[in-house]
Amino acid sequence: MNAAISYFDEKHPVASRLESLNRWVAETAALTQPDSIHWCDGSEEENAALLRLMQDDGTLLPLNPDTHPDSWLYRSDPSDVARVEHLTFVCSRDRDDAGPNNHWMSPAEGHRRMDALFAGCMRGRTLYVIPYCMGPIDSPLARCGVEITDSPYVVANMRLMTRMGASALARIEKEGVFVKGLHSTGELDPDRRFIMHFPEELSIKSYGSGYGGNALLGKKCHALRIASWQARQEGWLAEHMLIVGIENPRGEIHYIAAAFPSACGKTNLAMLIPPESYRQAGWKVWTVGDDICWMRPGEDGRLYAINPEAGFFGVAPGTSEKSNPNALATIGHDTIFTNVAVTADNQPWWEGLEAGQPSKDWQGRDFDPANGPAAHPNSRFTVSARQCPSYSARAEDPQGVPISAIVFGGRRASLVPLVFEARDWTHGVLVGASMGSETTAAATGDVGVMRRDPMAMKPFCGYNFADYFAHWLSFDRPGAKLPKVFHVNWFRKGEDGRFLWPGFGENLRVLEWMIERVEGRAGAVELPVGLLPENGELRLQGLDLADGSAEALFDFDLAGWKAEFEQVGAYLQEYGSRMPPILLSEANEILKTLR
């Protein structure tokens, strides 16, 4: 403990060269009244001191050093285990700018309410100043921020998830522009918990939660809600998408960006391991990012993407040697686990692991099935992306990677086929805008309820969805060489309630068809909803599918699709006069064809 205190007292910079940053820190300290202020430099020494501090006060529990060296367990408050969408607000000056897809509060009321919560909240605590960069430190598309927090757990996670510390501070001082994020765990009282976004001010205030998506303000708050607003002003896209490179036997790499709602397999797809027959043929997969993608048009008209994050904040349950061996290898050391169970020999454990048995559940109780799952369904791991065996060297490319295809996908038990392609960019935007998916444990509320989740951005778009769709449409301009757009559904079920498609590594078969479509080497059949693989074009050799599954994966339910597009049309109309007429027209034409 003494070493940690000595480090924090004596070995950190006392201020920035940027006066606006110093002034904000001083004003925040005056409001929150911390016992001390620490400016984070991101060093190994600082991180070691923080880990010792949290181990000493019981915040972090060390895991088995033989099986998981330098790894830790964090248990959050049982009331604080997921994103709180109903307590998340966009505080734009004009309510219509936030749109019906967001909870809105006026900036004045948002600041008043939050400042009342923050008043004196850091007494007895340390105020940490975290300068960070979202994206490669020298990328023109990267954007910087500073999070102020009283949580050392947040500091440790931000160090893994962003480019944090001295290099980020240097860029902030050079540019003079940064997103301001103020966070306090407060009392962890669900009735005193809010996350407010002020897009015109490039600022965020989060109070009352220590959970990742609510407390790591560089993640969903900055990299999606605020960045989506920035992106619209500056002509780029901030999206809830993985980025993966698919290398074919000829050594050619196509990069794919794919949007799925949380806990629907983004990390599994980003770290996909090809089936054995594909590996033998020379196929490889390269992981650029598993959750967030920033894209901008390049000089050649193509979209180029960076992963603004430097780490993975992945869902643990379901991660196994079968589903994602690359993830298991990634989290074998130097990982922070949140709300997982532990075995008798103190290894992390969650539902889906083939080995081990839980001894203590995620709340630290002796495991009893009567108390529910051993690991919380939204338990997480935080780890540096560089530890991933399939990590792409181009993840740090300042210019980003060129995107060949954009994929949308949701969790649908019926109706939606395994894969289809949009006819053109406008149709592709409609495909993304009309996405539906069954809810998961990544957010509070009921699980398994079908809801519209456009581009998987429903919880994350920082402005009116109608304006967001119009922004997407604006990229279709002379000289643009836009990616092809596809939709997938790994989760379609048969009449027996079982999944029809095996998923995981076998998803490469679907990606192969997409790449061949991009290259103009695969056929497709046109239906009113899009282009489906011609018979025999999707390579299924060696795949053990139940009788009739291949046909059922592409079964076309005309009555079901009529009902779907009637709902889509009604959904788009909810956004009123801001909805782009071309998108309404596209949906109406498809419905007319179906009728």
Whole-number pLDDT of residue 5: 41
pLDDT, tens digit, for every residue of 65-113? 999 999 999 999 999 998 888 999 999 999 999 999 999 999 999 999 9
- Which residue, 212, 235, 258, sits at the end of a domain? 235
128: left (phi over 0), alpha (psi -120 to 50) or beta: beta
- Per the domain annotation, does 70 fall within a domain? no
pLDDT, tens digit, for every residue of 314-326? 999 999 998 999 9
What does the pLDDT average to over 561-582? 97
Whether residues 501 and 569 share a domain: the answer is yes
Contact between 417 and 493 (Cβ < 8 Å): no
Whether residues 369 and 423 share a domain: the answer is no
Range of the domain at 550: 239-310+392-594
Catalytic residue among 91, 121, 264, 293: 264
What is the CATH classification number for the domain harbouring 532?
3.90.228.20
Neighbouring-strand partners of residue 239 = 293
More confident residue, 85 or 339: 339
Whole-number pLDDT of residue 8: 65
Neighbouring-strand partners of residue 407 = 258, 486
Beta-carbon contacts of residue 318 (< 8 Å; ≥ 6 apart)? 350, 351, 352
Chain mean pLDDT for the chain? 95
- Per the domain annotation, does 68 fall within a domain? no
Is 264 one of the annotated active-site residues of the chain?
yes
Which of 271, 269, 286 lies closest to 401 in space, CA to CA? 286
Nearest-10 Cα torsion for 349, 352, 354, 355: 10
Residue 296 has pLDDT above 90, yes or no: yes
pLDDT, tens digit, for every residue of 376-386? 999 999 999 99
Give CA–CA dist 353/341, Å, rounded. Answer: 11
Give CA–CA dist 253/518, Å, rounded. Answer: 12
What does the pLDDT average to over 161-173? 98
Residue 265 has pLDDT above 60, yes or no: yes
Beta-carbon contacts of residue 19 (< 8 Å; ≥ 6 apart)? none
- Per the domain annotation, does 69 fall within a domain? no
Whole-number pLDDT of residue 51: 97
Coil, helix or strand at residue 261: coil
Whether residues 295 and 320 share a domain: the answer is no
Whether residues 176 and 40 share a domain: the answer is yes
What is the number of domains present in the chain?
A: 3
Half-sphere exposure of 81 (CA within 13 A, CB side): 18
- Which residue, 235, 251, 284, sits at the end of a domain? 235
**Which residue ranges are tagged as binding site for substrate?**
83, 211-213, 262, 378-380
- Per the domain annotation, does 74 fall within a domain? no
For the entire predicted model, the pTM comes to 0.95
pLDDT, tens digit, for every residue of 521-559? 999 999 999 999 999 999 999 898 988 999 999 999 999
Cα–Cα distances in angstroms (integers) from residue 586 to residues 34, 313, 560, 573, 594, in the given order: 55, 37, 18, 13, 13
- Per the domain annotation, does 80 fall within a domain? no
- Per the domain annotation, does 78 fall within a domain? no
- Which residue, 368, 387, 406, sits at the end of a domain? 387
What is the CATH classification number for the domain harbouring 328?
2.170.8.10
End-to-end CA distance of the chain: 71
Coil, helix or strand at residue 468: helix
The percentage of residues in the chain with a pLDDT greater than 70, rounded to a whole number, is 96
**Which residue ranges are tagged as binding site for Mn(2+)?**
220, 240, 291
Pairing type for strands 143-149 and 126-134 reads antiparallel
Give CA–CA dist 52/560, Å, rounded. Answer: 57
Whether residues 432 and 342 share a domain: the answer is no
* Six-digit token string for 295: 């894209």
Q: Which residue has the tokens 């000056």?
A: 93
* Six-digit token string for 381: 């791991």
Whether residues 381 and 423 share a domain: the answer is no
pLDDT, tens digit, for every residue of 117-126? 999 999 999 9
Whole-number pLDDT of residue 287: 98
Which of 261, 161, 259 lies closest to 212 in space, CA to CA? 161
Whether residues 28 and 142 share a domain: the answer is yes
Question: Identity (one letter) of the amino acid at 135?
Answer: G
Whether residues 476 and 541 share a domain: the answer is yes
| Dihedral of alpha carbons 399, 401, 405, 409, sign | negative
What does the pLDDT average to over 46-73? 97
What is the CATH classification number for the domain harbouring 57?
3.40.449.10
Burial degree of 588 (CB within 10 A; 0-12, 13-18, 19+): middle
Residue 2 has pLDDT above 70, yes or no: no
- Per the domain annotation, does 327 fall within a domain? yes
Burial pattern 514-544, b for ≥16 Cβ within 10 A else e, equals: bbbbbeeebebeebbbbbbbeeebbbeeeee
| Dihedral of alpha carbons 343, 347, 351, 353, sign | negative
Cα–Cα distances in angstroms (integers) from residue 63 to residues 3, 332, 333, 347, in the given order: 22, 11, 10, 6
Neighbouring-strand partners of residue 304 = 296, 402
pLDDT, tens digit, for every residue of 367-415? 999 999 999 999 999 999 999 999 999 999 999 999 999 999 999 999 9
Whole-number pLDDT of residue 330: 98
Whole-number pLDDT of residue 15: 80
Give CA–CA dist 106/133, Å, rounded. Answer: 28
Give CA–CA dist 197/179, Å, rounded. Answer: 11
Q: How many CB atoms lie within 10 A of CB 499?
A: 13
Whether residues 459 and 500 share a domain: the answer is yes
Give CA–CA dist 178/143, Å, rounded. Answer: 7
- Per the domain annotation, does 73 fall within a domain? no
pLDDT, tens digit, for every residue of 441-491? 655 566 677 889 999 999 999 999 999 999 999 999 999 999 999 999 999
Contact between 531 and 421 (Cβ < 8 Å): yes
Whether residues 322 and 303 share a domain: the answer is no
Give CA–CA dist 365/494, Å, rounded. Answer: 38
**Which residue ranges are tagged as binding site?**
83, 211-213, 220, 240, 262-268, 291, 378-380, 411, 504-507
Whether residues 193 and 224 share a domain: the answer is yes
**Which residue ranges are tagged as binding site for GTP?**
263-268, 380, 411, 504-507
Whether residues 231 and 257 share a domain: the answer is no
Residue 23 has pLDDT above 70, yes or no: yes
